[in-house]
Structure 1
């Protein structure tokens, strides 16, 4: 006769009856099912467990949508000259069509300053912002920074619904976040997710800016799509902790991972643009390599034992840049940087983000390991040209030319949005040999439009075979081009 096994379902009521009949509590006893080779069923204990209430996102969501705007851009079509590919008619003129774009932005002040992404407004001839209540204004682009993919817009207003800034350093893995923006040209949209990683780099800014690129994204699984760029990443208190900037996707649409620029970095960059007209970034003057990319053979080249670099947590110094703050402070090849101002760093991305929050002339504390010993040193940050100054009239040197940003009045008088003016030329320099004179206004580098020193630095850093600058002399007609060559390596 075939044996029939009847499944046993134990409920609270059955447990009580068994107890009344003299059986001990099932939670204290192993229960065996017939025919299962005596495999025990274990009952989980609720010791130490506390009941939690579900998170209510509605207050943060309702407040956030008032502070996030829809950014729409217009890039006017241009007439271009192209060669007839068959050679019958010679060069032909073609009219490129107008291009429309869209993204999001976050109001950060009562008087109308807005943070968005550089890639949202780059090259646009007109920028329009629309509030959640349909109020629409034309916005002015105050400044951009390709290195961090941040841009600042300005609209008129005196009591606008700005978003409170949170501290992105306090963001923790697994915490709930909201992504707020205008994806796919929809109205204001809120999605929820958790922080799935920190300190991520995906190479976008490095491709855009080369020198001065900073990537240390907050990674989340909140759904983000095209149009969310420049929108807000918000914690459950409704505070801004990031600016949504990118997604990782094989299709171009959301596939599970989105990336936001930490609010602490975005705030510093936006503050520089508003105050100085361009980003004033301090550099340590180090070339770095992550320890997890080292091998035992490569570690030996830096005087490190296999155990030393595998057990250490930090970033290895490959070399120091001459005339940099790091060189002056005595940091050298083979040192392992462990912290910046007490904040632990375990990758070049994290270190770069921490340093990017400071200006030339700021002093920071750098923790490092040398020969197995932990030490600390104070480093005064400098800019790429080795200077330690910051300000609206900050200058830099390149190929023997001293450069500064155009003032707003100068730009207005020349009918341009921005540029870089040559204020001095060194004898015997590449700039002197190119016949550049004082007063020349640089408007482009290798045909890339520039508006300030930060743009200039990024553009020359991307040049491999020399630099071609274009611009004008105030009061003279026409455009002038000059070839320069200068080797300024990028550094952190």
Structure 2
């Protein structure tokens, strides 16, 4: 039989408000750095198409996101790569962007965008992350269907595990998995939190400090993308931020 003592209740009363206050402050620090990554084409309808989430790093004119968010078509007739943010007047604005760094093996990309610098997040040493660590992540779930106001979800690091896991049968290993095994597996964060399509590229930050420890890159959902709202059963994964640091060091 579970017994709850007066001391344990007092501890909860003290700790829970402190945790909520920490998350409130962390969201306030991270939110101004969140941008929408998408494409713009004047003749298209709609003209702007969202592809994922990004967040501002280093000097304030660079944004990190997933490599898979970046469109493959870069020809002269292709839609222009842009980020969507808000100006000082609070109105949405589109800024031209270009890819300046890419790590496809770890699904990372860095964009340089035009215009005044934006507030940048603080990148943490992701090697110090631990299972059970409380986290949040901010982005644009369901591909902007809920609007372009950043949304924050919270949870914890459920597991730190290699991205390539051995299958019980050879048929479970596809070509991409085999290539990854040959290159060598690397650790990835599995999150006890539900991300959605559109959260790709969202920063995963420590709940207490607001420092970014990872980047959302995979969401597994039962059923179709359209059923994500009615069946929020996603298992979310994030790339550790130290790989982003290494990519930024090459620029």
Q: TM-score range by the shorter chain?
A: 0.7 to 0.9
- Residue 171 of structure 2 corresponds to none
Give the superposition deviation at 1:71: 0.4
Cα distance, 1:239–1:147 mapped onto 2, change above 3 Å: same
8 Å CA contact 1:67–1:106 kept in 2: the answer is yes
* Paired residues of 1:179 and 1:223 also in contact (CA < 8 A): no
What residue is the counterpart of 1:199 in the other structure?
Answer: 161
Distance 1:140 1:120 in 2: 13
In the alignment, the residues of structure 2 paired with residue 178 and residue 122 of structure 1 have an alpha-carbon distance, to the nearest angstrom, of: 27
2:196 and 2:26 map into 1 onto residues whose CA distance is 20
- The correspondence of residues 223-238 of structure 1 with structure 2, limited to 5 A, is 223-236=194-207, 237-238=209-210
Pick which of 211-220 and 101-110 moved more. Answer: 211-220
Q: In 1, distance between residues paired with 2:137 and 2:219? A: 12
Q: Does 1:67 align with 2:47?
A: no
Structure 1 position 213, deviation (Å): 6.4
CA RMSD in angstroms, aligned pairs only: 3.2
Aligned partners of 2:37 and 2:51 also within 8 Å: yes
- In structure 2, relative to structure 1, the CA distance for the partners of 1:209 and 1:140 (3 Å cut) is farther
User: Secondary structure of the residue that 2:28 maps to in structure 1?
Assistant: helix
- Residue 98 of structure 2 corresponds to which residue in structure 1? 140
Task: Identify the residue that residue 373 of structure 1 maps to in structure 2.
Answer: none
Change (3 A) 1:43 1:228: closer
Task: Specify the alignment match of 2:124 in structure 1.
Answer: 166
- Superposed CA deviations along residues 322-374 of structure 1, whole A, max 9, x for unmatched, are xxxxxxxxxxxxxxxxxxxxxxxxxxxxxxxxxxxxxxxxxxxxxxxxxxxxx
- Structure 1 residue 159 displacement after superposition: 4.0
Choose 1 or 2 for highest CA Rg. 1
Highest relative contact order (Cα 8 Å, sep 6+), 1 or 2? Answer: 2
Taking the aligned partners of 1:183 and 1:109, their CA distance within structure 2 comes to 25
Within 5 Å, which residues of 2 pair with 1:303-322?
A: none
Q: Residue in 2 aligned with 1:217?
A: 188
Q: Which residue of 1 aligns with 2:15?
A: 53
Shift, 1:158, TM fit: 5.2
Corresponding residue for residue 257 of structure 1: 235
Residue deviations 1:371-417 (CA, integer Å, cap 9, x gap): xxxxxxxxxxxxxxxxxxxxxxxxxxxxxxxxxxxxxxxxxxxxxxx
Unaligned runs of 5+ in 2: 42-46, 75-79, 166-173
Secondary structure (helix, strand or coil) at the match of 2:217 reads strand
Q: Is the 8 A contact 2:134 2:154 kept in 1?
A: yes
Equivalent pair of 1:150/1:266 in contact (CA under 8 Å): yes
Structure-2 separation of matches of 1:63 and 1:255: 29
SS in 1 for 2:15: coil
Q: Per residue, is there more helix in 1 or in 2?
A: 2
Q: Which residue of 2 aligns with 1:129?
A: 83
The answer to whether residue 245 in structure 2 is matched with residue 245 in structure 1 is no
Q: What are the within-5 Å matches in structure 2 for residues 389-408 of structure 1? A: none
Q: CA deviation at 1:43?
A: 5.7
Q: Distance in 2 between matches of 1:205 and 1:115?
A: 27
Q: How many residues align?
A: 213
Question: Structure 1's 256 and 42: CA in aligned 2 closer, same or farther, altered over 3 A?
Answer: closer
Match of 1:118 among 67, 75, 78: 67
Partner of 1:179: 137
Superposed CA deviations along residues 92-136 of structure 1, whole A, max 9, x for unmatched, are xxxxxx995510111112341111100000414321101254232
TM-score normalised by structure 1 residue count? 0.39
Kept in 1: contact 2:37–2:84 (CA 8 A): yes
1:269 shift after superposition: 2.2
Q: What is the alpha-carbon distance in structure 2 between the residues aligned to residue 119 and residue 73 of structure 1?
A: 14
